Amino acid sequence: MTESIPVHISVMLNESVNDLITDPNGCYIDGTFGRGGHSRLVLAQLEQGKLLGFDKDPVAIEFGEALAQEDGRFQIVQDSFATMDEYITSHLDESGRLDGVLMDLGVSSPQIDDAERGFSFMNDGPLDMRMNPGVGLSAAQWIANAKEKEIADVMYQYGEERFSRRIAKAICEHRAHTEILTTLQLANIVKDANPAWEKGKNPATRAFQGIRIFINNELGDLETGLESAAKALKVGGRLVVISFHSLEDRIVKRFMRTMSKGPELPRHLPIRNAELAIKFKTIGKANKPSKQEVDDNVRSRSAVMRVLERVSD
């Protein structure tokens, strides 16, 4: 196994693992293994506990398999954390219950920095964007066939790109005579079609984000994963989620609020809290990286960490 790209720096490493571990002999899931930063610290704090890692990325799986050889308490699965309920009883505990789940969302630095993966609008490479390049359509394949409205909707809904319609039109006009196969091709089309560049932000940022999220079904996986994690937690077990943009954090915040306070109801409806049978509580407020961490790793600046704990069955 070789790795020539920069090592991934796990965001909010100590804070997240400290909030996650409630029983050193418990069963835990690392939903996004990456390069194993969080997993290694979890294992360092466990005694007879077990840890199961998930990742779609084949390179991450290589790192995970190496860690599994080092430490028999760890196993790795090449799949989305959205499928965790399929593996809990077979890999961790026959009861199907967990002491904690950690989700570090988004793309890792190695994925961004490796031009061959197609995530970067700064370095030229194949327009892929798949977390697992062996599954599903690449971004290039999707862009070649998607309707103009679909492209615009994806960039607007998942990238919050306000010029999505004119960018989608430019993409479709370009592909009519030239295939769009590389990241810089797409980035340049987006730049030329974007009439108002945000200060300090590459004009292709939002378009690339939207396409990447769509190609990997990131928000759908997140919603399913949150439900599966909460369902599997034991009393006292915790769900720790680190998100990196507003769309992710909005889903996490809304989910944790509903689980800890119940659904939004009409203001004067005569229902008491006890009747809602609340089974969860949030731990503290939304946590952000320290100034020192942001100074050391600028990619951590947008991170938000939220924690949910099960208090009853």
Report the Cα 82 to chain-centroid distance in Å: 11
pLDDT at 17: 96
Mean pLDDT is lowest, of 6-10, 129-133, 153-157, 306-310, for: 6-10
Report the Cα 292 to chain-centroid distance in Å: 23
pLDDT at 299: 79
Residue ranges per domain, the chain? 13-109+218-310, 132-215
At a CB cut-off of 8 Å and minimum separation 6, what does 197 contact? Answer: 191, 203
pLDDT at 201: 84
Opening angle at CA 217, ends 176 and 239, nearest 5 = 160
pTM above 0.85, yes or no: yes
What confidence tier does 296 reach under pLDDT thresholds 50, 70, 90? confident
Mean pLDDT is lowest, of 119-128, 150-159, 247-256, for: 119-128
Higher pLDDT, 109 or 299: 299
Mean pLDDT is lowest, of 9-18, 137-146, 230-239, 247-256, for: 9-18
pLDDT at 6: 47
Q: 14-29 burial, b for 16+ CB within 10 Å, e for fewer?
A: ebbbebbbeeeebbbb
Is the per-residue pLDDT at 266 higher than 80?
Answer: no
For the stretch 68-85, pLDDT in tens is 999 999 999 999 999 999
- The mean of the pLDDT values for the chain is 90
Task: Compute how many other C-beta atoms are within 10 angstroms of the C-beta atom of residue 109.
Answer: 18
When the candidates are 3.30.565.10, 3.30.465.10, 3.40.50.150, 3.40.50.720, the CATH number that belongs to 13-109+218-310 is 3.40.50.150
HEC string of the chain equals CCCCCCCCCCCCHHHHHHHHCCCCCCEEEECCCCCCHHHHHHHHHCCCCEEEEEECCHHHHHHHHHHHHHCCCEEEEECCHHHHHHCHHHHCCCCCCEEEEEEECCCCHHHHHCHHHCCCCCCCCECCCCCCCCCCCCHHHHHHHCCHHHHHHHHHHHHCCCCHHHHHHHHHHHHCCCCCCEHHHHHHHHHHHCCCCCCCCCCCHHHHHHHHHHHCCHHHHHHHHHHHHHHHEEEEEEEEEEECCHHHHHHHHHHHHHHHHCCCCCCCCCCCHHHHCCCEEECCCCECCCHHHHHHCHHHCCCEEEEEEECCC
Superfamily of domain 132-215: Putative methyltransferase TM0872, insert domain (1.10.150.170)
Is 311 in contact with 281 (CB distance < 8 Å)? yes
- Rounded to the nearest 10 degrees, what angle do helices 205-215 and 164-175 cross at? 80
pLDDT at 3: 42
